[in-house]
Every structure is written in structure tokens, then in C-alpha cells.
Amino acid sequence: MSDETLVPGRRARVTVPVRIVGAGLLGSSIGHALRQNGVDVSLADTSPAQLRLAVDYGAGRAAAEGDDPALVVVCTPPDVVADMVEAELKRFPNAVVTDVASVKLEPLRALRGRGIDLTNYVGSHPMAGRERGGAISARADLFAGRPWVICRDGETPTQALALVEDLALDLEAVPMEMTPEEHDRSVALVSHVPQVVASLLAARFVDAPEHALALAGQGVRDTTRIAHSAPELWVQILAANAEPVTQQLDLLAADLSLVADALRDPDRQGSRRTAADAIRAGNVGVERLPGKHGQRRRFETFVVMVDDVSGQLGRLFGDLGELNVNVEDLRLEHSPGAPLGLAEISVDPATLQPAVDGLTSRGWRIAGTSD
């Protein structure tokens, strides 16, 4: 993908009429992106209010009798995806029907159990979302840069698959082919189980004393950040992907018990090794997560002290810009009651020294580097 695809006026791959069922966050976002490409987008939603909002915001027009979509995208909650896909396949037998649900096997099983011709159905799952939902939160760039899983089987016609891939590409997502089983086990591991774990860890804070929470640092804030997620949606996701999630939760509970048992008698032979093995395995595992551009992170980090007053960060950003420092990552940190903040800045190793020198010469206090 070249830079040219990123500017308005790029060539659209999908030019056929598209029908979107469910005009919430995902459906409306897809609508906005396709509308920008001049595509005829018709929207349907069981909620007239949601539909009106999506239309008002420009995600498409309300669906009408006589619509003849070539592509239908079902963007409803997981619980009703199978029903919706079935209805759309029957109503538009010439259209390719896809969905964006975050589980793929259960809807497929349900559809297969109904004896429907699934030739034109291609399940998919864009790995995108926001903390707030609804048509009002939709944005054309929601999928930009995110993986978009597309599930095929032996019977999926090439052109149906290509149409869904084109949709993903037009939305600037990164298409990835997977079987439904591979997809569901994968998201159980990297999304659903982390959600349960973060939620349960944060649930321990409900009755915790204030003085304990006052010691919370960036570590635990990161570990529990996704505990903010919405219960309604997650119950559907977890229930629909129950088997792979349960498998992983059982393994994790067993691992937790192993460490707890070791720590019950920390001076017994082998106890410390059990604890060390757990931390060490975590070191290996976390290194396997893709960082930016799918590569491991190879950045150097330095920390700039920032007085917590208006304009200070702006000045830092301005100085970084003038110094032509290509910031790979930036993290701001404050502590309770602290009069200043720390800006942790990651840069290419080659630019570490010039960046530190340049900022120092402009009067910034550098608190440390990763060297």
C-alpha cells in the first residue's frame, strides 16, 4: 500500500452497492468510509433512532424496497448474527454476505445447522472498536491499520472472498485469511482471556482500601486498562466463544494455583524455581507479541521531566518537532499528588543522543535513558 491510498481521491476497489445491516459503531464506520469513495450505501437497523442518526451523520441512506446490493455487511451484536446472515442470504441471493462479529465458529455452525446455501457467505472480523459505541461514535478511519480476519472454506468462491478483501483494503485495514477455528482460538488467547483476566484483577479493587490504591503505578494501570469494557457486549462474545475461552481460563487458573502453592511455602525446595519459571516464561511470551509494524521493538527510551502546567507539553512537542526527532512512542505519566509529569519517549537508537542533547540544550531535564 503506497501513501497514495491514504489521500482522498484514491481509487476505490469496492464500487458496487453495499447494504449494511446494523448501523452502530462498526456498521456506520464502514458506511462513512464507503460513502467517501462514492459507493451507494444503504443502511438498515432495528432501531429507527439509530438508523436516523447514522443517516444524519452521513453513513449512508436508509434501505428501501428495490435495493439490489452486491455486498451485504451484517454488523449486529454476536447473538443475532446467524439470524441476520440467514435473512440476508435469502433476501439477496446474488449478493455476497459477510459479517463483522468477533466470533466466527458459532454463527457458522448455527447457519450450517439450518441447511442454508452458504456459498455466498464469507465471515470476517475487523480487529477494531472503540470504548464508546453507536452511530454517533462512528468514524471512517476506525479500521485503518487494523487486522481484518477473513474466513474462507473450500467452497468459498474466489470472487466472494476478493470482494470482502477489497472492502477491508478500502477501509485501510490489513486482511488476514484464517479458518473460523483458528480465528476463535486466536481471539480467545489474545483478546477474550486478557479481557476476563483484566476484569477479574480490577474487580479485586472494588473493596480495596484507599491507601492500597494510592500505591498503584503505571504497571497495574496498564494491566487493568481494558477492564473499562462494556459488560453487555462481552457477555455475548464470551458466551459465543465459550469453549476456547474456557480452555485458556482453565490453563491459566492452574498456572495461578501452581504459583500460589509454591508461595504457600516459599522456602520449600523448588518453590522459588516455580515462581522464577513463571516470570521467565512471561518474558519469552510477551516478546512474541508483535509491536509496531509486526516487528519487535528496538527503540531506545529517555524520560523528560515536564512541569504539569499548560503549555509545557506543547513546548516539548514543538522542540521535538524542530529537532526533527522521529518519536516512535510516547507515554505520559503522573503520580497522585505529583507536581510534575514524566514523558517517556522512544526513538530510533541512532537519534537517541542527538535528541537528548538537543532537548538538554533547550533547557529540558532528561530524567534518564534506557542505556
Find the binding residues for a second copy in span 32-91 (CB under 8 A).
none
Give the interface segment with a second copy, choosing from 9-17, 112-120, 133-141, 152-160 (CB under 8 A). Answer: 133-141
Least spacing, CB of residue 95 vs a second copy, in Å: 27
147 SS3 class:
strand
Strand partners for 346: 301, 329
**Nearest distance, CB of residue 93 and a second copy, angstroms:** 32
3-class SS of residue 74 = strand
Query: What's the grid cell of residue 186?
Result: 486466536
Please report, as residue ranges, which positions from 303 to 322 form the binding site for a second copy (by CB under 8 A): 303, 305, 307-311, 313-322
Binding residue for a second copy, selected from 11, 48, 231, 269, defined by CB under 8 A: 231
Angle in degrees, 0-180, between the axes of helices 231-240 and 242-264, rounded to the nearest 10: 100
Residue of 271, 353, 358, 362 that binds a second copy (CB under 8 A): 271
Does position 228 interact with a second copy (CB under 8 A)? The reply is: yes
**Sequence-ordered list of residues with C-beta below 8 angstroms from that of 155, at least 6 positions apart, any chain:** 118, 119
Of 40-48, 54-62, 152-160, 336-344, the window that binds a second copy (rule: CB under 8 A) is 336-344
Which position among 20, 198, 352, 356 is part of the footprint of a second copy (CB under 8 A)? 198
Q: Which residues of 207-216 are buried (b: 16+ CB within 10 A; e: fewer)?
A: eeeeeeeeee
Which residue, 69 or 129, is less far from a second copy as judged by CB? 129
Q: How far apart are CA 347 and CA 370, in angstroms?
A: 11
Q: In terms of CB distance, is 91 or 225 closer to a second copy?
A: 225
- Tell which positions 201-220 bind a second copy, by CB under 8 A: 201-206, 208-209, 211-217, 219-220
DSSP secondary structure letters along 19-41:
EEE--SHHHHHHHHHHHHTT--E
Least Å from the CB of residue 117 to a second copy: 27
Shortest CB 146 distance to a second copy, Å: 5
Give the footprint of a second copy on residues 342-371 (CB under 8 A): 342, 365, 367-368, 370-371
Q: How far apart are CA 41 and CA 2, in angstroms?
A: 26
**Shortest spacing between CB 234 and a second copy, in angstroms:** 5
Considering only 52, 189, 299, 353, the residue that binds a second copy (CB under 8 A) is: 189
Residue with smaller CB distance to a second copy, 87 or 216: 216
Q: Are 262 and 274 in contact (CB under 8 A)?
A: yes
**Pair type for strands 147-151 and 121-126:** antiparallel
Q: Using an 8 Å Cβ cutoff, are 142 and 118 in contact?
A: no
Torsional sign, CA 169, 174, 177, 180: negative
DSSP element (H, E) containing 166: helix 158-170
- Residues 239-268 touching a second copy, rule: CB under 8 A, are 239-240, 242, 245-246, 248-253, 255-257, 259-260, 263-264, 266-267
CB of 52 to a second copy, least distance (A): 18
* Minimum gap (Å) between residue 262 Cβ and a second copy: 9
> By C-beta, is 91 or 365 nearer to a second copy?
365
Q: Which helix (H) or strand (E) holds 323?
A: none
Kindly state the cell numbers that stand for 217: 503505578
